[in-house]
A = this chain, B = another copy of it.
């Protein structure tokens, strides 16, 4: 539970995934997608109060970077977490954030 390899590739990969998550809307999305739950774009955009285009855009970023996965079902596309562990990041960040 300790050592981290510092190869440039790992740094790049880690940064890539972190950049994917580092946006309020995208953190919100991850927050909505607990466990096995899968939501449609419309459900997500309504809960987070963002435009359709914006939601779609952010979902794509999360999917491209391997954070989410999606499946199409009729007219809908359901998005869900690919790594439940990623939620830990948000938990972790929130627990670190609070003593200014």
Q: List chain A positions with a Cβ less than 8 A from chain B.
A: 1-2, 4-6, 8, 10-15, 17-19, 21-28, 31-32, 34, 66, 83, 85-98, 100
What are 12 A-to-B residue pairs whose CB atoms are below 8 Å?
A8-B24, A11-B25, A15-B23, A17-B96, A17-B97, A18-B18, A18-B27, A18-B93, A85-B92, A86-B96, A89-B89, A89-B92
Using known A-B contacts A10-B94, A86-B96, determine if residue A24 contacts B28 with beta carbons closer than 8 Å.
Answer: no
Number of copies of this kind of chain in the complex = 2
Using known A-B contacts A22-B22, A28-B6, determine if residue A13 contacts B92 with beta carbons closer than 8 Å.
Answer: no
A14 to chain B, nearest CB (A): 5
- On chain B, the residues within 8 Å of A24 by CB distance are 8, 11-12, 14-15
